[in-house]
């Protein structure tokens, strides 16, 4: 692991990527399009934090200069999953497990973001995470949907190993056992001292792979959600009670 991730207090971003999708139900399937989106996201995040880029489709990243390692970029490649029919969440967390198991010195804490998503207010998100270094997990969980929003979360490596490692094995999109549901159920027994939701309402710029839904929402709509989030924290710091 590059030295930049060890000693200077920066919080690294872990970007998860699948350039060549191998499952049904994905709207964006063109590898060239997906590659371009990943490159744009990578360039965007490298302005603000060191990045660990994880890819699990076997795409030849070495052919592209954007993925050459630097003091602020680590690239880790993993083979395609042997169980792609289990869904995107299964494969993503299978890769996260494999990365933590293989990395000789993983960062003690990191911010995971689904690789094609750009958080327009990433500086606010990073600042919030840095100001709460003892929190084991910061993730949005919605009570109405009984889901954890896995596109973005900040986690300590030791907490991940204790609570999230192996969770992907319970996932199966064919039976609607999505990773978001499995994680929500797993975290029920974890106290609010360890887990809370983001104080900052994320502002996404992305196209959802499964639905084709286009982000972002307008600024006024984002402000309303930010106010609701702050009010929510007055009664509950672990779960969001308003709809997406």
Helical segments of the chain, H only: 31-46, 88-102, 122-130, 157-159, 179-186, 219-235
Per-position pLDDT tens, the chain of length 244:
454 465 567 899 999 999 999 875 555 678 999 999 999 999 999 999 999 999 999 999 999 999 999 999 999 999 999 999 999 999 999 999 999 999 999 999 999 999 899 999 999 999 999 999 999 999 999 999 999 999 999 999 999 999 999 999 999 999 999 999 999 999 999 999 999 999 999 998 866 555 455 566 688 889 999 999 999 999 999 999 986 6
The reported pLDDT for the residue numbered 216 is: 60
Q: Is residue 218 part of a domain?
A: yes
Phi, psi of 81 (to 5 degrees): -65, 145
Phi-psi region of 146 (alpha: psi -120 to 50; beta: other; left: phi over 0): left
Domain total in the chain: 1
Asked whether residue 244 is assigned to any structural domain, the reply reads no
Residue 178 domain flag:
yes
35-61 as b/e: b if 16+ CB within 10 A: bebbeebbeebbeebbbbbbbbbebeb
Say whether 195 sits in a helix, a strand or coil.
strand
Q: Is the residue at 241 inside a domain?
A: no
Tell whether 164 is covered by a domain. yes
C-beta neighbour count of 95 within 10 angstroms: 23
DSSP annotation of 59 reads -
Residue 138 three-state SS: strand
The torsion of the CA quartet 182, 41, 4, 7, rounded to 10 degrees, works out to -50
pLDDT of residue 26: 55
Domain span holding position 142: 3-235
CATH code for the domain in which residue 189 is found: 3.90.550
Q: How many residues does the chain have?
A: 244
Q: Confirm whether pTM is higher than 0.85.
A: yes
228 is a domain residue: yes
What does the pLDDT read at residue 22?
83
Q: What is the pLDDT of residue 28?
A: 60
């Amino acid at each position: 692991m590059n030295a930049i991730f060890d000693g200077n207090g920066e919080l690294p971003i872990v970007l998860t990527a699948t350039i060549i999708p191998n499952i049904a139900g994905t709207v964006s399937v063109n590898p060239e399009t997906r590659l371009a989106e990943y490159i744009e996201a990578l360039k965007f995040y490298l302005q603000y934090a060191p990045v660990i880029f994880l890819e699990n489709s076997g795409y030849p990243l070495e052919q592209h200069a954007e993925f050459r390692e630097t003091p602020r970029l680590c690239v880790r490649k993993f083979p395609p999953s042997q169980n792609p029919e289990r869904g995107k969440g299964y494969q993503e967390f299978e890769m996260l497990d494999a990365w933590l198991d293989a990395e000789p010195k993983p960062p003690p804490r990191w911010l995971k973001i689904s690789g094609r998503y750009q958080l327009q207010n990433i500086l606010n998100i990073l600042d919030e995470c840095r100001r709460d270094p003892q929190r084991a997990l910061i993730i949005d969980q919605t009570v109405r949907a009984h889901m954890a929003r896995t596109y973005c979360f900040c986690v300590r490596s030791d907490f991940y190993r204790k609570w999230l490692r192996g969770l992907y094995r319970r996932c199966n999109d064919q039976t609607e056992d999505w990773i978001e549901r499995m994680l929500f159920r797993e975290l029920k027994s974890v106290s609010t001292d360890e887990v809370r939701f983001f104080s900052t309402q994320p502002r996404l710029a992305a196209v959802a792979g499964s639905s084709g839904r286009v982000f972002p929402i307008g600024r006024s709509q984002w402000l309303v959600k930010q106010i609701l989030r702050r009010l929510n924290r007055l009664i509950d710091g672990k779960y969001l009670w308003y709809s997406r």
